[in-house]
Amino acid sequence: MSGFATGAIWREQLNSLRSSGGYKDAVELEGPQGPHVRMNGRDVLNLSSNNYLGLANDPRVVEAAKQGLSVYGAGTASVRFICGTMSCHRELETKIAEFIGCEAALTYMSCWDANIGLIPTLANTTDDAIFSDSLNHASIIDAIRLSKASRHIFQHQDMDDLESKLRSATCKGVRLIVTDGVFSMEGDIARLVRLRDLADAYGALLIIDESHATGVLGERGRGTAEHFGVLGEGTVQTSTLGKTLGGACGGYVAGTRVICDYLLQKSRPHLFSNALPPSVCCGAIAAIDILMEEPDRLAQLRSNTGYFREKMGALGFHIPPSITPIVPVIVGETALAINMQKALLHDRGAFVSGFGYPVVPEGAARLRCQISSAHSREDLDAAVSAFRSIGEKFGVIA
């Protein structure tokens, strides 16, 4: 048998991942997502989830999902345009558009799908050009790879570099500028106002992936545009229902009606893949309702984030400045991040994810903390105390 048939070639690569410390073991949760989770029969403080507003296990979200199952059954058994559009899809899309303050929205099975379904559909000829931040999410990178447009990767958040690439690109067709709203490894916020100006100046369409900004940034949680006071000014956004908005799965594109209509006709994940399960649609509708009706959650998230950032900074940890609940604690070497992650969990019952090269640049390995409105002050104090003892043990802080 060949090495392909026996799997030897991939086993070897797995072994090399193990020996380099890059092998990822999935932790298993024995119950729902929350500020605390059950792992190996133990209660663990959870600092590694995108459940920013604590809605993943909210009884109203769970009940709405159950109702969705009772009313519509398990699933669509069809792609969207054949016989797979249910009233709950339309209701969810109307709700998303109302929440974001735009004309229309279109749902996908995930934000990964939304990016894959949007970017190469809008720009797919060799006359087109796509400009993308170097730290954009993997789904944007893969979406761009699916397109025949020319690719122009600008340095992270470097608007001069973007402008010089916009200026020098020869492009007769569509121009897209694509950015994350909040960058998932850094926790920093895209320079939306400048990006919008450049998009206008060079006749480009700006696409912003709001997966870590929806329900997090802006007065009412409407994301990066609301944060900068430029809501409704002609960007297209993608986002996920799998983080703040209920935590199940699903994503969407939100913007103008013409783009959503065009995607319904042309976007391959719509044409060739089933629509969101109704339970997920109904759970997400409930999550958006809660977000719109309970602004206190957002205030709590901000207060928790500010508290944690301040306490950790005061201990001497290296944390890039931002206001988002993604709080990367930079420690340097990958092995150090992994060893600290293990010690935080085993010695202190705090679960934080460590990331090293190649997910982040060499020498910038980190423990990425994610804060939720559902964390209590005691949780945050316990997290800071765990970091203090493990940080001292490993010589990361004095």
Ligand X SMILES: Cc1ncc(COP(=O)(O)O)c(C=O)c1O
- Restricting to residues 251-290, which ones interact with ligand X according to CB under 6 A? 251
48 forms part of the interface with ligand X (CB under 6 A): no
Member of 48, 121, 157, 184 binding ligand X (CB under 6 A) = 184
Report the C-alpha gap between 234 and 225 in whole angstroms. Answer: 10
222 forms part of the interface with ligand X (CB under 6 A): no
291 forms part of the interface with ligand X (CB under 6 A): no
Contacts of 94 by beta carbon, 8 Å cutoff, 6+ apart: 105
Q: Would you state the structure tokens that stand for residue 398, as one six-digit string?
A: 């004095």
Q: Would you state the structure tokens that stand for residue 78, as one six-digit string?
A: 């069809």
Three-state DSSP at 392 gives helix
132 forms part of the interface with ligand X (CB under 6 A): no
What is the nearest approach in angstroms of ligand X to the Cβ of residue 195? Answer: 15
What is the nearest approach in angstroms of ligand X to the Cβ of residue 251? Answer: 4
* β 129-133/104-108 pair status: unpaired
- Catalytic residue numbers, as ranges: 184, 212, 243
Identify which of residues 120 and 391 has a Cβ nearer to ligand X in the complex.
120
117 forms part of the interface with ligand X (CB under 6 A): no
133 forms part of the interface with ligand X (CB under 6 A): no
Matching residue, tokens 């992936």: 209
Identify which of residues 273 and 303 has a Cβ nearer to ligand X in the complex.
273
355 forms part of the interface with ligand X (CB under 6 A): no
What is the nearest approach in angstroms of ligand X to the Cβ of residue 49? Answer: 11
Identify which of residues 141 and 323 has a Cβ nearer to ligand X in the complex.
141
370 forms part of the interface with ligand X (CB under 6 A): no
| Per-residue binding letters, 144-173, with ligand X (x by CB under 6 A) | ------------------------------
Return the range that interacts with ligand X (CB under 6 A); candidates 13-21, 23-31, 107-115, 160-168.
Answer: 107-115
Member of 53, 97, 104, 111 binding ligand X (CB under 6 A) = 111
What is the nearest approach in angstroms of ligand X to the Cβ of residue 110? Answer: 3
What is the nearest approach in angstroms of ligand X to the Cβ of residue 52? Answer: 12
186 forms part of the interface with ligand X (CB under 6 A): no
246 forms part of the interface with ligand X (CB under 6 A): no
Question: Could you tell me if residue 27 is left (phi over 0), alpha (psi between -120 and 50 degrees) or otherwise beta?
Answer: beta
DSSP string of 4-24? HHHTHHHHHHHHHHHHTT-PP
Return the range that interacts with ligand X (CB under 6 A); candidates 204-212, 289-297, 315-323, 327-335.
Answer: 204-212
- The closest alpha carbon to 365, from 390, 336, 391, belongs to 336
Sign of the CA dihedral running 67, 68, 71, 73: negative
Matching residue, tokens 């792992």: 39
Identify which of residues 89 and 212 has a Cβ nearer to ligand X in the complex.
212
> Residue-wise over 296-333: b if at least 16 C-beta within 10 A, else e?
ebbebbbebbebbbebbeebebebeebebbbbbbbbee
What is the nearest approach in angstroms of ligand X to the Cβ of residue 23? Answer: 20
Q: C-alpha dihedral over 237, 243, 247, 251, to 10 degrees?
A: 20
Amino acid at 144: I
Q: Which residue is nearest to ligand X (CB)?
A: 110
Q: Is-contact 391 397, C-beta < 8 A?
A: yes
What is the nearest approach in angstroms of ligand X to the Cβ of residue 136? Answer: 8
Report the C-alpha gap between 132 and 147 in whole angstroms. Answer: 13
- The closest alpha carbon to 52, from 159, 210, 194, belongs to 210
Member of 211, 267, 300, 373 binding ligand X (CB under 6 A) = 211
- The closest alpha carbon to 95, from 283, 224, 329, belongs to 283
Report the C-alpha gap between 323 and 316 in whole angstroms. Answer: 18
Termini Cα distance of the chain? 56
Please count the residues of this chain forming the interface with ligand X, following the rule CB under 6 A.
Answer: 13
Member of 52, 72, 112, 131 binding ligand X (CB under 6 A) = 112
121 forms part of the interface with ligand X (CB under 6 A): no
300 forms part of the interface with ligand X (CB under 6 A): no
Give the residues lining the site for ligand X (CB under 6 A): 110-112, 137, 139, 180, 184, 209, 211-212, 240, 242, 251
